[in-house]
Amino acid sequence: MRLRVLGPLEVRDLDDRPQVLGRVKERVLLGMLALRVNTLVSRDALLAGLWEGRPPRSAPANVTSYVSNLRRIMQPGLVLETLPGGYQLTADADAIDLLSFERLVEQGRQARADGQHALAVERLTQAAGFWRGPVMDGLPVPDAVRPEIARLEDLRLTALEECIDGRLELGQHGTLADELAVLTSRHEFRERLWGQRILALYRSGRQSEALAAYQEVHRLLDEHLGIEPGAALRALHQQVLRSDPKLEYAVVAEPVVVSSWTPPRQLPPTVWAFTGRADELAWLESQGAAETMTVMALVGTAGMGKTALAVHWAHRVADRFPDGQLYVDLHGHGTQDPSTPIEVLTSFLRALGVPSERIPTDVETATASYRSKLAGRRVLVILDNAGSAEQVRPLLPGEPGCLTIVTSRRRMTGLVALDGARAHVVGGLTPDDAHELLTRLLGAERANAEPAAVAKLGEVCAHLPLALRLAAARVAGMDGSIEDCVADLASVQTLDMLAVDDEPSAVRAVFDSSYEPLNPLAQRLFRLLGLVPGGGFTRRTAAALLDVHPDKADAVLDVLVSASMIERRAAGQFVMHDLLCRYATERVAAESTEDRGAALGRLFGSYLQDTETAVVTMGSGMARITQPLAEILPELEFQGSGEALAWLDAQRQSLVAAALYAAEHGPHGVAWRLCDQLRGYFWARRCHPEWLTVAEAAVTAAGDDLEAAAAARHCLGDHFWSLGDYEPAIRQYVQVVAACAEAGLARRQVGVLINLGAVHRELGHLNQAHDRLRDALDVAQCNEFAETTIRANLGALHVEMGRMEDAVQEHTRVVDGGQASAPERAFSLNSLATAHRHLGHLDEAQTCAMNALALHRETGNRAGEASALETLAAIHLDRDHPTEAFAFAKDALAIAQAIANPRAETATLTMLAAVHLHQGDHTQAEHYFTLGLESARTNRITYTELEALLGLAATHQATARPTTARALATEARQAAQASGFAHHQATAETLLTGLGQ
């Protein structure tokens, strides 16, 4: 579990999934405690902070309620304690980002003190990576914690400065000079940053710019603060004036590439009261110490404690693997479908820092990417509950250095024979170890009073750790003697599916003894949980299965948690051990077909209902099936799109599992409805592997149903479009349009025609794009639909076709019409800014772009934010403000690279090149135009390809290379003429005229 406070407040579970937090005051309370982590915070301070010094009478009771709710999300590493006078959040360093940040800063400083500059830069860069924005961003910040926030902000800046010092020691002054220009514009009065910028410029051979930078900071300090630069900055100025040799970089070395990767720490908590296993631990130690050993397998019958053993040893040796630990349950044995290699690779690559947009969707490419990320690193990988060597093999690191531990009920002979694995069979505990474990679980006083009964209990449980723990949980809750409890256990039939050396085990007896004392409602819920695809579930899952209110389901879930029949993982999230899942599946088979069908119908109905609420709140604006859904449960409430997205993130695995189950087993309508609902979410999160799997399953499930097929193929087309795979996207969209026309699905027909227009526009097929958008407009007008999305796209198309007056007309209708959503207005405002810019209306352009930027930030559209920043850079360049243009372009590029958006990245690379060209830095201009051209061609973005070609032509013209300039401009003119990019064609002709052609 991880709490993040350095930015928007966020809690993530052990699988790195964001958790839905409660009310605003609950989140503020958690933030206040987090900022004073491991320190007592008085009740009075909390009351004053939450209610601005005027708490109502109900405030103390409210705080108690908030604390109780927050405790539901606490897991190992985080504890919310009630102490005399107040509360304390106790946390491990890895459980909260601010402690991890402070630890890495201290490590970086120590490395610098030891002269290890590369290590210092790496640690300080990792520390900076924990910051996602202002502390507690988006929440009201109580005055009481503002000093602590100020301290953290100052530490952040100081650590940044120390990191820059380290990079200067490593000879990275060339890249730092431009970075520091942006930093000093943001932090105008940080003299240390100015000094670093001056030194970086001087070492880069830019002495005049270094002196100009000093004059700039001198003016700023004098005008705003009435002071002169400090002694250190003045002394540096004098050294630059006299070209002091002491300022030169003494060592010639290649710049060090600094990694901002944060190692994953995915190990589950070690099992409480872990006992024995001396031989197994010795084997792991001996094999794990071998430099050539890369794969170890722990194999044996279910319930032997293989996972507990692997995780326990992994925690002991975690420090040997500084680059992180990865963990996954492969579900190779149990009721849940086995995890596929692509699912696991997707999860691992995300944990290793690869954005969703860049994760491959095929196993071979994903495996290659995974092994590349691990190359040269020391990472411990635990592949738990594997079903076969084939399931494991794509997940193995490619070279020594990393260590993989596989646990499985199978012997893994293929892994041993072909992959060099070493296997060890894990049996039951020894009688002595079983006795010790039961003594620890039951309490020494009670166990020592009946040693013979404890020994007998171990025998009844066949010394299986799982059975021992379940039995101990049952016995511990009873008032009778251990001997009486053992007699009850021994009289119950065993679980047939588990056997040790062909002898029946006592696990079924243990499960029965935990199940039978439950009240009838708890028994019924446990049985029905055997129907749930995917393994995980929530209180709303339980409520739907039982057909009760979620509040009543909470009480039933608490009964099952207390009986050790299910496990609470995080806020509202529960799981069941796979053996218990099988046991529940066997139990639910006794239900009538009608009852099972009704429960499954309510479960899928709740998924559809809740997903619809979430995507509507998220505000994707995408066309979806509009048939009303049955209200299975009270409607979910989300406080904005952020909470809705977080809920979808947390439920993604369950929803995907439900869609795939329904596609295979029915009801098929659930599969394509969920697919249709999740399309906007998949687009926002770029979850390509899950997206493709669900869409293809929905297409199969749709069969001959035109509406279903249209929904499923719409989703599949969007998947291909998001990857830049245009031809398959067009093929899917064309089929959807035909199906919609035949079935009278006008609203979806309009949406898909808009998509077709956008795809053709990106390919440079402007006439086809225009035709599809006009088709969409005709259908919309015939059905009296809103036209805002169509006109926004037409406006953008007019800009690219050079019809700026038409673009202004269309976008003005969208912006002023009052019907557009916030994302539509933001899109139109940004495109309108570009149209005004080309018309020379720079004031109007800047106003529109600033408004677009604000709206994109408000709606959380990072790609739109990057586009608006790039537009502002272009406007400032037209105003002859290159410094401002450079700052906007750098910010845009940082966002585009952070979200791995090729369209935004290509545009901003080209914009940066234009700024360098304007400033006369032809080397950098050529470099960035070339990068932009390569990216545009790779991603088939015709508009930006022409921008880059024309920019390169202008650069060659400015550097007296007329032959190549003419060739580039001619190529751009021909391509623009063929596609209909009139503005680019005119620019190319102007260039050619200047070149004498």
Fold assignment, 176-262: 1.25.40
Contact (CB, 8 A) for 483 and 453? yes
pLDDT (average), residues 815-842: 90
Using only C-alpha atoms, the chain has a radius of gyration, in whole angstroms, of: 32
Q: Which residue has the higher pLDDT, 265 or 358?
A: 265
Indicate the burial class of 143 (C-beta count within 10 angstroms; 0-12, 13-18, 19 or more).
exposed
pLDDT (average), residues 352-366: 82
251 band by pLDDT with thresholds 50, 70 and 90: low
How far apart are the C-alpha atoms of 554 and 542, rounded to whole Å? 8
* Residue 36, both tokens: 């004073």
Q: What is the pLDDT of residue 255?
A: 41
Q: What is the pLDDT of residue 59?
A: 82
CB atoms within 10 A of CB 361: 16
Angle of the 146-169 helix axis to the 97-113 helix axis, nearest 10: 40
Amino acid at 676: D
* Residue 443, both tokens: 């309490």
How far apart are the C-alpha atoms of 736 and 711, rounded to whole Å? 8
| pLDDT of 667 higher than 50 | yes
How is residue 269 annotated by DSSP?
A: P
How would you classify residue 381: left for phi > 0, otherwise alpha for psi between -120 and 50, otherwise beta?
Answer: beta
Fold assignment, 660-779: 1.25.40
Q: Which residue has the higher pLDDT, 208 or 78?
A: 208
E strand or H helix that includes residue 25: helix 24-35
pLDDT (average), residues 898-913: 86
**Top-tier CATH class for 883-997:** mainly alpha
| pLDDT of 556 higher than 60 | yes
| pLDDT of 820 higher than 90 | no
Angle of the 788-801 helix axis to the 804-816 helix axis, nearest 10: 160
Q: What is the pLDDT of residue 257?
A: 42
How far apart are the C-alpha atoms of 642 and 860, rounded to whole Å? 8
320-329, 684-693, 804-813: least confident range? 684-693
pLDDT (average), residues 571-580: 75
How far apart are the C-alpha atoms of 541 and 557, rounded to whole Å? 11
The sign of the dihedral angle between the CA atoms of 433, 438, 441, 442 is negative
| pLDDT of 725 higher than 90 | no
pLDDT (average), residues 583-604: 90
How far apart are the C-alpha atoms of 102 and 155, rounded to whole Å? 8
What contacts 619, CB < 8 A, 6 or more positions away?
Answer: 641, 821, 822, 823, 859
| pLDDT of 718 higher than 60 | yes
Which residue intervals of 51-145 are DSSP H helices?
59-71, 97-113, 117-128
Angle of the 173-186 helix axis to the 146-169 helix axis, nearest 10: 160
14 band by pLDDT with thresholds 50, 70 and 90: low
Q: What are phi and psi of 905, to 5 degrees?
A: -65, -40
Choose which CATH entry (1.25.40.10, 3.30.70.260, 3.30.2130.10, 3.40.50.620) describes domain 786-860. Answer: 1.25.40.10
Mean of pLDDT over the chain: 85
Contact (CB, 8 A) for 527 and 541? no
Flag whether the pTM goes above 0.75.
no
Fold match between domain 278-425 and domain 518-618: no
Q: What is the pLDDT of residue 693?
A: 93
Amino acid at 132: R
Second-level CATH architecture of 1-170: Orthogonal Bundle (1.10)
- Strands (E) located in 199-238: none
Q: Which residue has the higher pLDDT, 834 or 938?
A: 834
Q: How far is CA 332 from CA 45, 665, 668, in A?
A: 51, 20, 26
Chain centroid, CA 562 distance in Å:
33
pLDDT (average), residues 108-112: 87
Q: What are phi and psi of 26, to 5 degrees?
A: -60, -40
Amino acid at 272: W
| pLDDT of 423 higher than 60 | yes
How far apart are the C-alpha atoms of 729 and 737, rounded to whole Å? 12
310-314, 410-414, 836-840: least confident range? 410-414
Q: What is the pLDDT of residue 70?
A: 83
Q: Please, which residues bridge with residue 422 across strands?
A: 296
- The pLDDT tens digits of the residues spanning 918-932 come to 999 999 999 999 999
* Residue 895, both tokens: 């966002």
CA nearest neighbour of 382 among 308, 319, 302, 320: 308
971 band by pLDDT with thresholds 50, 70 and 90: very high
Q: Which residue has the higher pLDDT, 818 or 310?
A: 310
870 band by pLDDT with thresholds 50, 70 and 90: very high
How is residue 589 annotated by DSSP?
A: T
33-47, 250-264, 392-406, 747-761: least confident range? 250-264
Q: How many CA atoms lie within 13 A of 630 on its CB side?
A: 9
pLDDT (average), residues 528-554: 92
Q: Which residue has the higher pLDDT, 664 or 78?
A: 664
Task: Tell me the domain boundaries of the chain.
Answer: 1-170, 176-262, 278-425, 431-515, 518-618, 660-779, 786-860, 883-997
Second-level CATH architecture of 518-618: Orthogonal Bundle (1.10)
Q: What is the pLDDT of residue 501?
A: 39
Q: What are phi and psi of 300, to 5 degrees?
A: 155, 175
| pLDDT of 494 higher than 50 | no
Q: What is the pLDDT of residue 565?
A: 80
Highest mean pLDDT among 12-16, 110-114, 332-336, 542-546: 542-546
Contact (CB, 8 A) for 79 and 90? yes
Angle of the 788-801 helix axis to the 746-763 helix axis, nearest 10: 20
How far apart are the C-alpha atoms of 643 and 861, rounded to whole Å? 15
CB atoms within 10 A of CB 417: 10
How far apart are the C-alpha atoms of 468 and 432, rounded to whole Å? 13
How far apart are the C-alpha atoms of 814 and 827, rounded to whole Å? 10
* Residue 439, both tokens: 């003594």
| pLDDT of 598 higher than 90 | yes
Q: What is the pLDDT of residue 665?
A: 92
Q: How far is CA 449 from CA 124, 435, 488, 528, in A?
A: 56, 13, 19, 40
How far apart are the C-alpha atoms of 23 and 141, rounded to whole Å? 15
pLDDT (average), residues 5-24: 74
692 band by pLDDT with thresholds 50, 70 and 90: very high
655 band by pLDDT with thresholds 50, 70 and 90: very high
| pLDDT of 805 higher than 80 | yes
How is residue 96 annotated by DSSP?
A: B
Place of tokens 């079903």: 387
Contact (CB, 8 A) for 690 and 657? no
Q: Which residue has the higher pLDDT, 627 or 7?
A: 7
52 band by pLDDT with thresholds 50, 70 and 90: confident
- The pLDDT tens digits of the residues spanning 437-493 come to 999 888 888 888 899 998 988 887 768 787 788 778 777 766 778 888 777 766 654
Place of tokens 């390169």: 952
Q: Which residue has the higher pLDDT, 849 or 83?
A: 849
Strands of the 422-425 sheet, one edge to the other: 325-329, 380-386, 403-408, 295-299, 422-425
Highest mean pLDDT among 72-81, 281-290, 564-573: 281-290
3-state helix, strand, coil split of the chain in percent (to 5) is: 65, 5, 30
CA nearest neighbour of 689 among 388, 371, 349, 351: 349
Q: Which residue has the higher pLDDT, 293 or 668?
A: 668
Amino acid at 217: V
258 band by pLDDT with thresholds 50, 70 and 90: very low
889 band by pLDDT with thresholds 50, 70 and 90: very high
pLDDT (average), residues 304-312: 90
Q: Which residue has the higher pLDDT, 191 or 252?
A: 191
80 band by pLDDT with thresholds 50, 70 and 90: confident
Query: What percentage of residues in the chain have a pLDDT greater than 90?
Result: 35
Contact (CB, 8 A) for 635 and 613? yes
325 band by pLDDT with thresholds 50, 70 and 90: very high
Contact (CB, 8 A) for 197 and 229? no
* Residue 800, both tokens: 């690219």
Q: Which residue has the higher pLDDT, 281 or 486?
A: 281
Choose which CATH entry (3.40.47.10, 3.40.50.300, 3.30.565.10, 2.40.50.100) describes domain 278-425. Answer: 3.40.50.300
How far apart are the C-alpha atoms of 96 and 108, rounded to whole Å? 19
Chain centroid, CA 863 distance in Å:
16
Amino acid at 215: Q
Q: What is the pLDDT of residue 62?
A: 82
How far apart are the C-alpha atoms of 736 and 87, rounded to whole Å? 58
The verdict on whether omega for the bond into residue 18 sits within 30 degrees of 0, i.e. cis, is no
Contact (CB, 8 A) for 380 and 317? yes
CA nearest neighbour of 556 among 536, 577, 541, 534: 541
Q: What is the pLDDT of residue 504?
A: 42
| pLDDT of 502 higher than 50 | no
Contact (CB, 8 A) for 629 and 609? yes
Q: How far is CA 134 from CA 32, 138, 346, 525, 898, in A?
A: 14, 9, 30, 44, 18
286 band by pLDDT with thresholds 50, 70 and 90: confident
